[in-house]
Chains A and B, each alone.
Chain A
Amino acid sequence: MSLQSEMPIPQTTVKQDRDIHSPPHSNPAAGEAAVKVTADIVQTNRQPRSSKRWWADLLWASIIPVVVVVLWQWAGGAGWISPEFMPTPWVILKSLIHLIASGDLAYQIGVSLQRTLLGFAIGGLLGLVFGCFTGMFRKAEYLLDPSIQVLRLVPHLAIAPLIILWFGFGETSKIAIIISGSFFPMYINTYAGIRQVDGKWFEVGRVLEFKPYQRFTRLIVPGALPSILLGVRLSLAVSWISLVVAELVGSTAGIGFMINEAKQNSDTPVIFVGILIFAIVGKLIDSLVRLLERRWLHWRDSYRG
């Protein structure tokens, strides 16, 4: 889109058309034409991707998965890989259908999702609040940030055994593991997002006499929003990964439990179903946040490829 380069053209027409001794803009027709031309451009610029383009992108993205699945099925059918270690896609699909039909899968996904969202809600909220404090107040930064940065460098899964020691194998320890994972990405991105809000806007805020709370709601929140939403995305991803650990360590329900149980029963296809579910649900959660990004951050003028 070359909106910028389009603009001088109608404007020069305005100049040429105008009688030089008359006041500026005595030729409304030319001015209006200019506005219309640009308005059309703006309209096309705002349109979302066409459905044709969407299907083409989807086709392009599915090349690699389709090739892998076809090769896998073919190699399995030819007897080159052991069905105990590596069941074919077809067998996995049958197992998936069975799990869906029995209602077992929906139940396990429900349990896992609930844990993830609860853990993320607490960890993410804490990260957001702490990030806001250290981002906005120097004193809070000096007090909190060094300690948080040190803790951040400890792989949060390394403290999982400690959490289990403290809270046992119950629900509390699972949520605690997820909280410990989801806190840091949210914290870092909120803090960094606030710090990268352009200082020039604060000068505008001073000239327009913004009150302190308006500085927060009108400059800091929208300015840091791209980074905060990235924090949400990363934090949800880490929550989902932490869930696997929490459930594999010991649980009586959830996708991780389903995988663990299948391992003990040597029911390999179910393990694959579990892995598949982790991938699909993870991707769906991520897409949901990206949808929010597209809705809330459409004003951004960044490179789209």
Chain B
Amino acid sequence: MAETLLNITALSKSFDTAKGRVEALHKVDLNIREGEFITVIGPSGCGKSTLLRIIAGLDGQYSGTITLAGQNITGPGIDKGFIFQEHRLFPWLTVEKNIAADLSLRDPEVRRKVDELIELVKLGGFEKAYPKELSGGMAQRVAIARALLRNPRVLLLDEPFGALDAFTRAHMQDVLLDIWRRNQTTMIFVTHDIDEAVFLANRVVILKPRPGQIKNIVPIDLPYPRKKTTSSFQELRLRVLKLLDSLDELELTDGAGI
């Protein structure tokens, strides 16, 4: 078993809103091993994005401890690659310059790695294209390449394929698994799509809302590449679905609104 890369202990986070204090996360404990693919799923308001943003160092003011490779997380940085729901490319830069961003393509080392990554995310021929000329899936692949160029310890993905159509989404899942297989980068992937969560992950983390807490962690012991039509896949999918469904009932009895 690989070593622990990310350790989250008793993580709580609250926001002050007009209606008072809202607890977004309540005593979350999670251990993620080097090279693991974790998906986080849960209904809206369960704090899954907040959890990811705290790991990224984008959100602060939480209680509990959270360490990456034994170091406390003090702020955002290139060791924690982040893929947003929207691609967030710079529209004034070409694909290759977006990937390089603050690094110079005249540096032969950067040039070589950028070319490799363009190959990895299958965008050969689009090096000089501008974001406006790309489809949603292509743009998101550029964003992934931009993060990977910096050799992150962990790649954090916040519903990155949420805005894509079903075919492109399935294609992107294959691309991401391909990247994971080759680079063995640890992935934490937030989604609200059950199929996606089960298809990608070693472990599916199910969060329950109000306050955000881990309800279950479902290990997915299917070999890769996976096939969504097999009965073993469907069984696990059903298990996750049932666990999520029970959250819905809980919510109704609580009388809480979305």
Are both chains from one complex?
A: yes
Is B165 on the interface with A (CB-CB < 8 A)? yes
* Chain A residues near B56 (CB-CB < 8 A): 207
Residues of A in contact with B, size category: 35 or more
State how many angstroms separate the Cβ of A73 from the closest Cβ of chain B: 47
Of B61-69, B173-181, B205-213, B249-257, the stretch lying at the interface with chain A is: B173-181
* Chain A residues near B181 (CB-CB < 8 A): 23
Is B58 on the interface with A (CB-CB < 8 A)? yes
| Known A-B contacts A14-B171, A15-B170, A299-B130; A206 and B58 likewise in contact (beta carbons under 8 Å) | yes
Of the candidates B86, B129, B181, the one having the most CB atoms from chain A within 10 angstroms of its own CB is B129
| CB pair A15 B102 closer than 8 Å | no
Q: How far is the CA of A24 from the CA of B226 in the complex (A)?
A: 11
Is A281 on the interface with B (CB-CB < 8 A)? no
Is A36 on the interface with B (CB-CB < 8 A)? yes
Q: How far is the CA of A251 from the CA of B12 in the complex (A)?
A: 74
State how many angstroms separate the Cβ of A48 from the closest Cβ of chain B: 15
Is A279 on the interface with B (CB-CB < 8 A)? no
Within 34-49 of A, Cβ neighbours of B (below 8 Å) are at: 35-36, 38-39, 42, 45-46
Residues of B in contact with A, size category: 35 or more
| CB pair A214 B91 closer than 8 Å | no
Q: How far is the CA of A12 from the CA of B170 in the complex (A)?
A: 9
* Chain B residues near A22 (CB-CB < 8 A): 225
| CB pair A299 B174 closer than 8 Å | no
From B75, B91, B137, B175, contact of A299 by CB (8 A): B91
* Chain B residues near A108 (CB-CB < 8 A): none
- Binary A-proximity of B106-140 (CB < 8 A = 1, otherwise 0): 00000000000000001011100111111111100
Is B82 on the interface with A (CB-CB < 8 A)? yes
List the A residue with the shortest CB-CB distance to B228.
A20
* Chain A residues near B58 (CB-CB < 8 A): 203, 206-207
| CB pair A24 B225 closer than 8 Å | yes
From B132, B147, B174, contact of A24 by CB (8 A): B174
* Chain A residues near B125 (CB-CB < 8 A): 35-36, 39
From A14, A15, A300, contact of B91 by CB (8 A): A300
| Known A-B contacts A8-B168, A11-B168, A25-B178; A206 and B132 likewise in contact (beta carbons under 8 Å) | no
| CB pair A24 B75 closer than 8 Å | no
Residue ranges of A at the interface with B (Cβ–Cβ < 8 Å): 3-4, 6-8, 11-12, 14-15, 20-25, 31, 35-36, 38-39, 42, 45-46, 200-201, 203-204, 206-211, 214, 218-219, 222, 225, 298-301
Closest 4 CB pairs of A and B: A301-B132, A7-B135, A24-B174, A222-B92
Other contacts beyond A203-B76, A207-B56, A208-B146: 5, CB < 8 A:
A3-B133, A3-B135, A203-B58, A207-B78, A208-B78
